[in-house]
Amino acid sequence: MLEELENNYQQAAAALAAAEGREALAAWHRETLGKKGAIYLLTRNLGALSAEERPAFGRRLNEIKAELESAYDERLAQAEAAELGAQMAAGALDVSLPGRRPAHGRLHIITRTLREIYRIFGDMGFQVYRSPDVETDEMNFELLNFPHHHPARDMQDSFYTTTPGVILRTHTSAGQIRAMREYHPEPIRILLPGMCYRNEQVTTRSEMQFTQVELLAVGDDISFADLKGTLTEFARRLFGADRQTRFRASYFPFTEPSAEMDISCILCNGAGCSICKYSGWLEILGCGMVHPVVLRNGGYDPEKTFGFAAGMGPERIAILKYGIDDIRQFWANDLRFLEQF
């Protein structure tokens, strides 16, 4: 009896080892451990055993059943893993095929550049002040110390409207007087962004409309050294912490002293390349201390009040940052251009 049990056990273990796949394993389980299975059938013969033999046989039978069940579970887990593995192997993808791109929108490169300028100067307490595109000659020139027939007007070929004294602003400096008259005698730290217009031939390098951001600080204690420090800080945050700046004497009617700020070339770091025309420097903005005449026109006492102003072109900044070769792209809005940013 016990011998038969051991035989059946040996056979069942061999059959389990030979069974491949979940179906074969299920069949083995049915045939071996099921209600009509070989092991179970032996229990029917328990009655034929003597009372002394019965406990040992019963113990052994339970041991065998437990071992077979556990071996079965292990085989089943192996089989399932193998099956899943085969399934996944069959489902391999060409990971190099392109993905499904969701259509997504973008902000125009000028919006993004303006925001970068706002953010950097915003950290230094400058806030955005907007003024109109269509301006009076008075705001755009006269009150900024450009009298009629002044030579500096020639550099800014204006678009005139059919209303006398009304032009398209040639620079966002035109908003300086508006801001000063609104805020005096309080100190001012503002950014004047906006579209400007000059009657110039449209080429890869010049446009009839362009954006500008003017920076204006007015207060009791503002010096040329502050102007240098503020603009150098800006250049380093925008173009990298290792940027060098250089200030050259210049002339604008509404600032004195006036300067042009250059940054060390972002491409060659000053070594000289075609972008910086082998000078190592890139012109980035014009600036200066607010002219006493302008301060007075804005309602401030120029003996007690000081200020600085700077004007920069977001297109110029984007052109340098991204190596854009044609300024007309900004307003042409070709999607193949816009989608690169």
Partner 1 sequence: MAREVAALTDRPLRQPAYDVVMDGPPLDGRVVITTDEPDLNPRFVALLIEGVQQVPSPYWMQYRLRLAGQRPINVVVDISNYVMLEVGQPNHTFDYDVLRRRADGYAPDGPIHIHTRLPQPGETVTTLDGATRKLEPYTILVTDPAGNLSIGGIMGGRESEIGTETSNVLLEAAAWNFINIRRSANALDLHSEAAYRFGRGVPPSLALLGAKRAAELLRTLAGGTVAQGIVDAYPRPTAPVVIDLDPAYVRKLSGLDLSAGDIAALLRRLEFVVEPAGERLHVTTPDHRLDVEGPHDLVEEVCRLYHYDRIPSTLLADTLPPQRRNVLLEREERLRDLLAQLGLQEIWSYRLTGAGREARLLPGGPPDDRPYVTLSNPPAPDRNVMRHSVLSSVLDVAAANSRHAPRIALFEIGPVYLAGEDGPLPDEQSRLAIVLTGRRQGEDWTNGTPSAVDFYDLKGILDALFAALHLPVGFEATGHPSYRPGRTARLLVGERQIGVMGELHPGVARAYDLRIERDQPVLAADIDLEALLPLMPDSYKYAPLLTYPPVREDLALVVDAALPAAAVESALRAAGGALLREVALFDVYQGEQLPPGKKSLAYHLTFQAPDKTLTDADVSRQRGRILRLLEQQLGATLRG
CA–CA distance from 219 to each of 277, 289, 290 (Å)?
A: 38, 12, 11
In whole angstroms, give the CA distance from residue 223 to residue 236.
Answer: 20
Of 276 and 289, which has the nearer Cβ to Zn ion?
276
**Binders of partner 1 among 322-341, rule CB under 8 A?**
330-336, 338-339
Cis peptide before 187 (omega within 30 of 0): no
Taking the least distance from each CB to partner 1, the nearer of 32 and 113 is: 113
Which of 258, 264, 297, 329 is the binder for partner 1 (CB under 8 A)? 258
Give φ, ψ of 97 to 5 degrees. Answer: -65, 145
Q: Given the complex with Zn ion, which of 120 and 267 has the nearer CB atom?
A: 267
Over the window 265 to 304, marking each residue x when it contacts partner 1 by CB under 8 A and - when it does not, the resulting string is ------------------------x-xx---------xx-
Does 242 contact partner 1 by CB under 8 A?
no
For residue 14, the minimal CB distance to partner 1 (Å) is 51
Is 67 in a helix, a strand, or coil? helix
- DSSP result, 271-323: S--TTTTTSSEEEEEEEEEEPHHHHHHTT--TTT-EEEEEEE-HHHHHHHHHT
Q: Does 78 bind partner 1 (CB under 8 A)?
A: no
Q: Out of partner 1, Zn ion, none, which partner does residue 25 contact, by CB within 5 to 8 A per kind?
A: none
Shortest CB 115 distance to partner 1, Å: 8
Closest to partner 1 by CB, 65 or 189: 189
Q: What is the closest distance, in whole angstroms, from the C-beta atom of residue 280 to Zn ion in the complex? A: 6
Q: Which residues bind Zn ion (CB under 5 A)?
A: 265, 267-268, 273, 275-276
Q: How many CB atoms lie within 10 A of CB 22?
A: 14
What token pair was written down for 303? 């003996």
Q: Which residues of 225-234 are buried (b: 16+ CB within 10 A; e: fewer)?
A: ebbbebbbeb
Least Å distance, CB 239 to Zn ion, is: 12
Is residue 103 a contact point for partner 1 (CB under 8 A)?
Answer: yes
